[in-house]
Amino acid sequence: MSKFKTNFEQFSIASYLLKWTLYILPLAFAVGSLVAFFLWSLDKLIQLRFAHSWLLFLLPVAGLIIYLLYKYLGKNADRGNNLIIDEIHEPGGGVPIRMTPLVLLTTLMTHLFGGSAGREGTAVQMGGSMAAFWGKRLNLSAADMRILLMAGVAAGFGAVFGTPVTGAVFALEVLALGRIRHDALLPCLMASVLADITCASCGIHHTKYHIDFVSQAGGFSILHTDLVLLSKVILSGVAFGLVGYLFANLSHAIKNYSNQFIKQEWLIPVIGGAIIIALTFLLGTEDYLSLGVAGKNPDSVTIVSCFSAGGATYFSWWWKLLFTAITLGTGFKGGEVTPLFFIGAALGNTIAVLMDVPIDLLAGLGFIAVFAGATNTPIACTIMGVELFGANNLLYYAVACFTAYYFSGHSGIYTSQKIAVSKI
């Protein structure tokens, strides 16, 4: 790099970017539109379940149908996000396009009948499988297919949460623990920005979360940082990381043990659904079912309510964690990320009360940091904090997410994520 370059490589860079713009435009429009349809339907179905509580009793039946759909029509689509990550690392049999309708339909079923799950898995899988489909039409080389798959992931993530910059960085950071490679930096950003614009122009509004807290240096007034608060944020980061670890390992354990001990595979989702019904009655609340962004009643525990005093009980985080680990561990579909937001925000609410810290700050930090720990994406989650909550508390976002990243250990919800750089 030390010599004065005589060949002006910028021309080939420009033509490379132009090529990718053309490849990505149709993909981003398609993914953005489909995500918009998904979010719209999801909202309608959740409202429908609120109106008809008895739908929950059909959850075991829904689980059985989901099982049968994937068994007879799914091929390898059942592997979901992990299949896409694998195909990005090393091209194999490809990501089948049937993944798109299957994951869309089964996620909607999961939510209609009250399974506790999220959205990002669905959006990422639709993005990835549509990218694979489109890449095959374009006859892309293996190297280019890799980039298009990453762009598909970025498009799905960026559109589903309305966070385009996070979508791009997440698609690069999630592939391997401990590393961001900048290949596909602009293709991913293009895809997530365009998909987000498309989704928003279909009329989708994303939930707004607010951290009103603005740091003002406290005890040691010569400092511009409140060291007491900083220490509390570090401790919370440890807790967020441990809970991310707990979630990842509990989901895997439920999946592994149920496969091991329940010989009739079709029984697994049926039992899973039955346990969710039983837990709901045991706790006497529907708050931990489905997405958790909107609540059935004004006093429901939701992600939004966790940002206010009294918005969560001491153990809300644990119940949401358990409901979600059972739902996803026994074969229902949807993402892990929105439940992780819920778990984190609820845990933040609890910790804030225990440690006397502003609740909205800790709920926001938990929201991003449990996710950072469970998926090993600390930089993407720090940026997500900025996209969702603004810049005021950037330092605390970074401290919480980086700390949670360390304390989640070398596990994570995506079993296909490689370990590129060990944490210690």
Of residues 197-236, those binding its own copies (CB under 8 A): 197, 200-201, 220, 222-225, 227, 230
Helix axes 337-355, 227-261, angle to 10 degrees: 140
Report the alpha-carbon distance of residue 362 to residue 350 in Å, rounded. Answer: 9
Closer residue to its own copies, CB minimum distance, 230 or 283: 230
Q: Is 378 in the site for its own copies (CB under 8 A)?
A: yes
Please report where in the chains the tokens 């920005």 appear, as a residue. Answer: 193
For its own copies, which stretch binds (CB under 8 A), given 65-73, 99-107, 119-127, 381-389? 381-389
Q: Distances from the Cα of 23 to the Cαs of 135, 136, 308, 402, 410, in angstroms?
A: 9, 12, 44, 35, 35
User: Which residue in 91, 228, 252, 300 binds its own copies (CB under 8 A)?
Assistant: 252
* 139 touching its own copies, by CB under 8 A: no
Q: Which two tokens stand for residue 17?
A: 């970017």
Q: Which of 1, 72, 260, 261 binds its own copies (CB under 8 A)?
A: 1
14 or 68: whose CB is closer to its own copies?
A: 14
Q: Is 260 in the site for its own copies (CB under 8 A)?
A: no
Residue 342 sits at the vertex; the CA angle it makes with 338 and 346, to the nearest 5 degrees, is: 170
Q: Pick from 97, 138, 353, 419: which binds its own copies (CB under 8 A)?
A: 419
Q: Which of 30, 95, 169, 347 binds its own copies (CB under 8 A)?
A: 169
Residues 17, 9 contacting (CB under 8 angstroms):
no
Considering only 14-22, 57-65, 102-110, 111-119, which stretch makes contact with its own copies by CB under 8 A? Answer: 14-22
Task: Please report which residue ranges of 202-294 form alpha helices under DSSP H.
Answer: 227-261, 267-283
Shortest distance, position 260 Cβ to its own copies, whole Å: 12
By CB under 8 A, residue 421 contacts its own copies: yes
Query: Which of 138, 242 has the CB closer to its own copies?
Result: 242
* Stretch 46-105 residues interacting with its own copies (CB under 8 A): none
Closest by alpha carbon to 31, among 290, 209, 204, 184? 204
The Cα-based distances of 127 to 81, 153, 216, 244 in angstroms read 10, 5, 42, 25
The residue count for binding its own copies (CB under 8 A) is 75
The one among 253, 278, 309, 354 contacting its own copies by CB under 8 A: 253
Burial of 264 (0-12, 13-18, 19+ CB in 10 A): exposed
Sign of the alpha-carbon torsion through 171, 167, 311, 404 = positive
Shortest Cβ 150–its own copies spacing (Å)? 13
Q: How far is the CB of 56 from its own copies (least distance, A)?
A: 29
The answer to whether residue 22 forms part of the interface with its own copies (CB under 8 A) is no
Cβ 166 vs Cβ 158: under 8 Å? yes
H or E element at residue 190? helix 185-201
Give the shortest CB-257-to-its own copies separation in angstroms: 9
Of the candidate spans 60-68, 174-182, 265-273, 342-350, the one that interacts with its own copies by CB under 8 A turns out to be 174-182
Q: If binding is defined by CB under 8 A, does position 390 make contact with its own copies?
A: yes
Shorter beta-carbon distance to its own copies: residue 30 or 277: 30
